[in-house]
Structure 1
Amino acid sequence: MIEIKDKMILIDGKPQLIMCGEIHYYRLNKEDWQDRIDKLKEAGCNAVASYVPWLCHEYQEGQFDLVGRTRPELDLAGFIDLCKENDLYFFVRPGPFIMAEMKNEGIPYWVYEKHPEIVPISWDGEEATTKTIDYLADGFLQEVRNWYKEVMGFITPRLYHRGGNIIGVQLDNEIGMLSWVSNKPDLTDHVLKDFVTWLEHSYSGSELSERYPWYGSDFEKLKASVRSPEDTYAAALLHDLGYYMRNRFARYVNILRSYAEEFDVKDIPFVVNIHGTGQGRGLTFPIGISQLYESYTQAPGYISGSDIYFGDLSMETFQDLYVINGFMDAVHLPDQPLTSVEFNCGDGNFGSNYGGRYDPSAADFKTRMCIAQGNRLLNYYLFTGGVNYRLEPAPQDGNDRVAFTGERHGFAAPVSPEGELNYTFPRMARSIRTAMAVADKLAEMKEEHDAVSFAFIPDYFMTEYRYPKSSVMAEILSNIEANRAGGAWEIVARAMLLTCYRFGSVDIQNKELDPKKTPVLVVPSARYLDASVQHKLADYLEQGGAIFLYGEVPLYDMEGRECTVLADKLGVKPKGMSLGAENYWLSVIADSWAAARPEVRTHAAQTFEVEKATPIMRVYDTNEVCGFEAAVGKGKAIVLATPYPCDLSFFKKVFERLGAPAALAHDYEHHGLFITTTASAKGERFLHVLNLDGLDKELHFYEQGNKLFDGRKLLIQSKDGVMLPLNVMYESYKIVYSTAEIIEVDKNKISFRLTQAEDVIALETNCTIALHDEYKVEVKDGLTYVFSQKHAKVDDRLTVYFEG
């Protein structure tokens, strides 16, 4: 039995960590399947994932092949069964869309030919420029149901609770992504009729008449008015279209689930894949969270999964991954765990031109951060490359293959199309095996947080559709985009992580905001913020909450109507914006407790008239206030309304003044470290550390001002990650601490990866440790200390043996 409970994946009642590798069986010769599975097991994975391409399995209408009748590699049943023979779980992804660089994103050609009406019409009556489809078109859903009937017939008997190995089913893939990236919302006739119905359920007739001058007109005028909106109602349409599409995607997901359950695929997690990372960053990822917000929160039984395409995790990007994991958790239902169903791995050479190349630490670092933040399933995508075979009969489209990437596919994967291991494989495998060595511990641990959370506002990322000719939409969206991620993530989130803050996130738009549960809140704020959210923040302050607002104090609601609820509560009056210009080098100076800092350049500053608030930042030449501290009710707010450098001491001071000191610390002066901790209900913990730089670092670790590891100075090697145990318990001993990380646990021995010139493992045990020339043993003050006699840079594996 598979359960989703308290942010864990339980299989037969036991918390599990699922480490998958994506193997596209249909891109490999059948005789190569076992070899790729062997390599996946060598990497330490316990599960296989794969798309099931509708395009391949029903290339011609009604002629299904899921058993290898036409091509041996199309034997889906045989591949899943082979994985089971290898004691591997299976995560199946049957579409209908799969993307995966497939032609038509994996949809058969005949579907488009038979149902030309499913191709969406968008802004100004233009057709969609991508291979997206009107998801709720009757013709399309009819064909999808037929596909599900066929493919679920092979999935159903292989479900885990029926004796098989399938533990999850993904419904479609990256829903809404194509219309977002092309800015082509589906405005087909029947969609617009449905949109009007949705509007009539959302507003009264009088409200609609006030919002939209075309409401009540004939359908032709309605179509023209929505497809080519005027600025008088563009802001309202921006809001309503975003909310409607969320609802529409949720209905589509629910229909797919109903089809799966109709064909007896039940009692298993249904996964909704969230898209959004791009160009090696996560700044746009929350657009996918917003688009699919209702899809994976509409009922129990769903899991959302991220697409993590970051390349290297570096000082530039590490806060992106941390923040988006927090945002996903913020919108989840209480039981939903974090997962990543496309977890980018390999060397980054996607163009086969060496224009992109990842460091070996890339997959390792991302794995470690995601596991520390509570991800329970990671699917390494793409684990192995393959070949795109030619379609028969040929579509005569230039290469006649199933995909547009050419003959070889996945040449950047850790395992090449020919089965060779590239340079990224060993480090990736090391991190997977390390996690799996303590999977029973990690699978139930949660990240520990300081008393500060990052605010998530889903509507700040509801920016996927904009009418290109609308100046109103452009003004609202450009301001939101300027404030929602770039500065806040680049400066505040990075500063928090570099000063050892561990923080979660709170959906302040849709969920309760309680100062007792969330004492301090970081709010990346734009000039526009919904009135209900402004009221919620004002009430939060009155009740004793503390806010650090970075960006702009809002002056309008999300539709551009004046709304100064939060500004009024802060007791300030916004004056305007000071902007840098040619030959005007806008600069700001610190004041009050923030003083004694250098004057800094900036490009914008929102200025205020303040009475009771204490100024902490001013524009240099006008002395206007652009940052302040204000007491509000029982609470306090610090506002910084100007982009400011990543001054770690300044931001640390901000959070300490708001009542949230960081419990963890280190004494390495040049920073470049990510540190967090996870803990179980039993008090077992791990300290997770990433050295993001290419240089070794010596330092002490502190918690609540006390040195950890008996005060020992540790060396964190360049571009290395470690997961160090603290009070981790096994049947006959407890690891009080270790400077080496656990890599294997057996009945009478435990193995470690060494990290120091002399590693120390401190144990509480009544067992006798066997003598060995690779370590020495000392007993002192009730603890047994094991000292490695090997330098980690010479030989980094140590096994400690217990007698008896």
Structure 2
Amino acid sequence: MSPAAETDPRPQRGQITLRSTQIEVAGTPTLLLSGEVHYFRLRRDEWADRLTQARDAGLDTIASYIPWIWHELPNGDLDLTGRTSPERDLPAFIDLCDSLGLRFLARPGPFVMAELKNEGIPDRIHREYPDAKPTGWDGRIAPTEDLDYQHPGFRAEAERWLDAVFEVLAPRQAPDGPVVGVQLDNEVGMLAWVSNTPHLNNAAVRAAGDPAQTLAFHQKLGLWARDDFADYLRHLESFTRDRGIAVPLLINVHGTGGGRGTTFPIGISQLAPAYRGRDGLLAGSDYYLGELTVQNVADLYLCNAILACVNGPDQPASSLEFEIGTGDYGDNLDALSSPESGVHKTLLTLGQGNRLINYYLLTGGRNPVLEGSGNDGIPRIAFTGERHGFAAPIDPEGRPTPAFDALAAVIKEIRSYEPILATGRQLTDDIGFGFVADHYLTEYVHPTATVRREQVDDLERYRGFGARDALGRAIVLGGYHVDAVDLQALADPESAWTAGTTAPEAPRTIVLGSPRTLSAKVQRWLADHVRNGGNLLLTGLLPDRDHDGTPCTILADAFGLSSAGVRVDRRDESGPYWPTVTGSLDADLRVSSAQLLQVPAEVDVLLREVGSGLPCAVQAQLGAGSLIFVGCDFPAAHLDNWHALFARFGVRPRVGIDADRTGLVTVPVTSEYGNLLIAVNVAPYPISASISVDGQQVQPQTTFPARGHALLRF
């Protein structure tokens, strides 16, 4: 090796390959740990300081949005080389990253959000193409800055913009340069979802054949929107490849909100057909969960699992916006997250197989003045005022916060175990967490569609993590380790949803939180799974219709079960009613709802609703397998009873946690380089515990401090 090579600070060069859920750099499995630094929000003479801080914290990659609205001048010309402002010199920023030993991840939009005006789209586009504005319900124009992705004027302008960016990126991409990935647009479909404004400009949607208020129309609309987003992103994929970009392409999946991840699978439902199984593409999560606690730790864990379950065999999981910092996004002390929160989220996410994390936002800055800005009250590029990134680990003035110190410390720990974390897989129990993508086709509800509103309310209450999120918390805080199972892919392997991948193998035991709505194909597959020797733990309501409203009781009929109504909390003219259940699992336990059942005599009744005396939780046999149906929101805190339910299937956690309190969450990772147990205490109190894996002690009795963690080889 030459002396020059020995002192070369640049990151390892080489081909970037996605293989067997890993990211390889020049054939070596590698973790990419990135920080988002917005060059356009920093003076050029500040760039080196912020990048050096990122490198010194142990990061190896820098990501940044490349805002169209910043680089387009009032006359429509583009400046990406700094001829009008040094902060527009994109090549100089990327080259500086390279010289400091940092890779670069490009996020050029055309949409970038990031609190920018028009979500990063120049005003000119809205002025010159007013018909690109989506038309939603009853002809109403979208209240957001959304645009119709299929509009020919928007597409042509976006391609002109991306052409200019790719001229900068192409000669700087791996294997010989620092650019290791390019993101395709950003959070596609998010604006339509959060504003309940489907893109009804399209004649095919308007002519769907069913009145807009019907369930059938909403189902067709959701499926069409998936296809529309996939068509747009595949067009961008093709365009990007045609322009010589050969590095991996990334798609940012949105969906968290309010410190919770229960709606995150909506983004997966919207976007998975655009990337699943496609060579050279990977999806990244967009996580904003705030403080990690017993309330939302299951959200993080199960969202990671669901994101991974729709990938192809080579596609690794990643996170393109991984929340880090103080959590004070409004600069108003509305919230503060502990430094340990980012540490815990990092460790759990890497343990579950994420190979790339982009910490967002790593550095604050200042929004520059935008030439030609209209009379909108603020002459700058964004609507947050001059300062931006108040909550970042490095504040707008360049000062590190406690979150920065915690990040640097955990990255140092991670690097010690990088071979394991870059290649390993999670050890799981013989349980699959059921994911039904169409349960999350809930973005759109016609304002007068009462039946649709009731369906969506039912879906939101019972799907996924279960009523009151009890099912998800019982799994994660109960010490179980699971992969998610894409039930639609299993039930319909030839469907458009499954295209690009092969149907996965199903574990023996499947858990599913289910509303009344469940497709005929999934119901039939679940019944056959049990008949052939599998187990099903079903919580929520007894499915009785398909997504378009067609009656469907295939699953219930297979076990001889039928609904006798639902008892819910109420207070009306007849007085209050508080549903209570009792039986072999627990005595006189209050619940908020109970699915009452008519059952055959041979069914084992586990719980009855006290007021009616009717069963609401049962175990039933079918063929060689078994169903446990829990038709009430059985609380997650009763972990002994959840353990008893799984034990009826012969399932016990491989990781044994003998603890005095609830709140310890683990992820066991195995690889050819060794095994690692990640343990984090998300509780606000110390926990005394011993831990074993497959009966072998890993950690003798010890005290895990509040918000503490440990990395243990086994």
TM-score (norm 1): 0.83
Aligned residue for 2:570, secondary structure, equals coil
Q: 1:298 to 1:703 in 2, by over 3 A?
A: closer
Partner of 2:4: none
The alignment partner of 2:402 has SS state of coil
Tell whether 2:203 aligns with 1:192.
Answer: yes
Which residue of the partner structure matches residue 619 of structure 1? 609
Gap runs ≥5 in structure 2: 1-14, 493-502
Structure 1 residue 497 displacement after superposition: 1.8
Summarize deviations over 1:17-42 as a string: whole Å, max 9, x none.
01000000011011111100111012
Q: Contact 2:230/2:274 (CA < 8 Å) preserved in 1?
A: yes
Q: Do 1:345 and 1:414's aligned partners in 2 also have CA atoms closer than 8 Å?
A: yes
Note if contact 1:587-1:599 (Cα within 8 Å) is conserved in structure 2: no
Structure 2 residue aligned with 1:637: 627
Give the counterpart of 1:170 among 183, 188, 195: 183
Contact 1:59 1:109 in 2 (8 A): no
| Conserved? CA contact 2:698–2:712, under 8 Å | no
Match of 1:243 among 192, 207, 223: 223
Contact 2:491 2:522 in 1 (8 A): no
Q: 1:22 aligns with which of 32, 36, 51?
A: 36
Separation of aligned partners in 2, 1:138 and 1:516: 42
How much has 1:626 moved relative to structure 2?
Answer: 0.5
Quote how far apart the aligned CAs of 1:298 are. Answer: 6.1
Measure how far apart 1:625 and its partner are: 0.5
Q: Does 1:591 align with 2:583?
A: yes
Distance 2:412 2:551 in 1: 55
Q: 1:449 to 1:488 in 2, by over 3 A?
A: farther
Indicate yes or no: 2:90 matched with 1:90: no
The residue matched to 1:424 in structure 2 has which SS?
A: helix
Q: What is the Cα deviation at residue 258 of structure 1? A: 1.9
Q: Tell me, yes or no, if structure 1 residue 308 matches structure 2 residue 287.
A: yes
Which stretch of structure 1 is more off in the superposition, 570-579 or 89-98? 570-579
User: Bigger CA drift: 492-501 or 108-117?
Assistant: 492-501
CA contact (8 A) 2:55 2:101 kept: no
Letter paired with 1:562: P
Distance in 1, matches of 2:144 and 2:28, equals: 43
CA contact (8 A) 2:514 2:542 kept: yes
Q: 1:570 aligns with which of 559, 581, 585?
A: 559
1:467 shift after superposition: 0.4
Q: Secondary structure at the match of 1:618?
A: strand
1:727-749 per-residue CA deviation (whole Å, 9 max, x = no partner) reads xxxxxxxxxxxxxxxxxxxxxxx
Query: What residue in structure 2 maps to residue 714 of structure 1?
Result: 702
Instruction: Determine if contact 1:613/1:628 at 8 Å carries over to the other structure.
Output: yes
Cα offset, 1:700, TM superposition: 1.5
Secondary structure of 1:341 counterpart:
strand
Work out the CA distance in 2 between the residues paired with 1:598 and 1:339. Answer: 44
Q: 2:458 aligns with which of 455, 462, 479?
A: 479
What's the counterpart of residue 315 of structure 2?
336
Does residue 253 in structure 1 map to residue 233 in structure 2? yes
- Maintained 8 Å contact 2:355/2:422: yes
1:681-760 correspondence runs (5 A): 681=672, 684-709=674-699, 712-726=700-714
Amino acid at match of 2:239: Y
1:602 to 2:591 alignment: yes
State the one-letter code of the partner of 2:670.
Answer: A
Structure 1 contact 149–259 (Cα < 8 Å) conserved:
no
Contact 1:99 1:105 in 2 (8 A): yes
Query: Quick one: distance in 2 between partners of 1:580 and 1:29?
Result: 58
CA separation in 1, counterparts of 2:77 and 2:412? 42
Give the SS at the match of 1:258: helix
2:659 aligned with 1:668: yes
Q: CA deviation at 1:328?
A: 0.6
Tell me which of 104, 110, 117 is aligned to 1:103. Answer: 117
- String of CA shifts for 1:736-785, please: whole Å, max 9, x gaps: xxxxxxxxxxxxxxxxxxxxxxxxxxxxxxxxxxxxxxxxxxxxxxxxxx
Q: Once the 2 structures are TM-superposed, how far is the Cα of residue 477 of structure 1 from its aligned partner?
A: 1.1
Deviations 1:267-286 (A, max 9, x none): x1110101110000001111
Q: CA deviation at 1:139?
A: 0.4
Q: In the alignment, which of 119, 122, 134 is matched to residue 120 of structure 1?
A: 134
What does 1:428-443 align with in structure 2 at a 5 Å threshold? 428-443=407-422
Letter in 1 for 2:658: D
1:653 correspondence with 2:667 = no
| 2:278 is the alignment partner of 1:299 | yes
2:607 partner amino acid: M
Other-structure match for 2:12: none
1:10 matched to 2:24 = yes
Q: Distance in 1 between matches of 2:580 and 2:629?
A: 14
Work out which of the two has the higher radius of gyration on C-alpha atoms and give 1 or 2.
Answer: 1
Equivalent residue for 1:360, pick from 339, 343, 346? 339
Give the counterpart letter for 2:57 in structure 1: A
Q: Work out the CA distance in 2 between the residues paired with 1:243 and 1:193.
A: 12
Partner AA of 1:246 in structure 2: R
What is the Cα deviation at residue 720 of structure 1?
A: 1.1
1:529 maps to amino acid? L
SS in 1 for 2:659: coil
Q: Shift of residue 512 of structure 1?
A: 6.0
Instruction: Give the Å deviation of 1:486.
Output: 5.7
Gaps of 5+ in 1: 200-210, 213-224, 727-804
1:246-303 per-position Cα deviation (integer Å, ceiling 9, x unaligned) = 011111011112221221112x111010111000000111111111121112622211
Instruction: State the match for 2:72 in structure 1.
Output: 58
The amino acid that maps onto 2:522 is V
Q: Quote how far apart the aligned CAs of 1:195 are.
A: 6.6
Match of 1:528 in 2: 517
State the SS of the aligned residue for 1:509.
helix
Contact 2:581–2:590 under 8 Å retained in 1: no
User: Which structure is higher in RCO with an 8 Å CA cutoff and minimum separation 6?
Assistant: 2
CA contact (8 A) 2:420 2:672 kept: no
Residue 310 of structure 2 aligns with an amino acid whose one-letter code is: V
Taking structure 2 as the reference length, the TM-score comes to 0.94
State the distance in 1 between where 2:353 and 2:705 align: 25
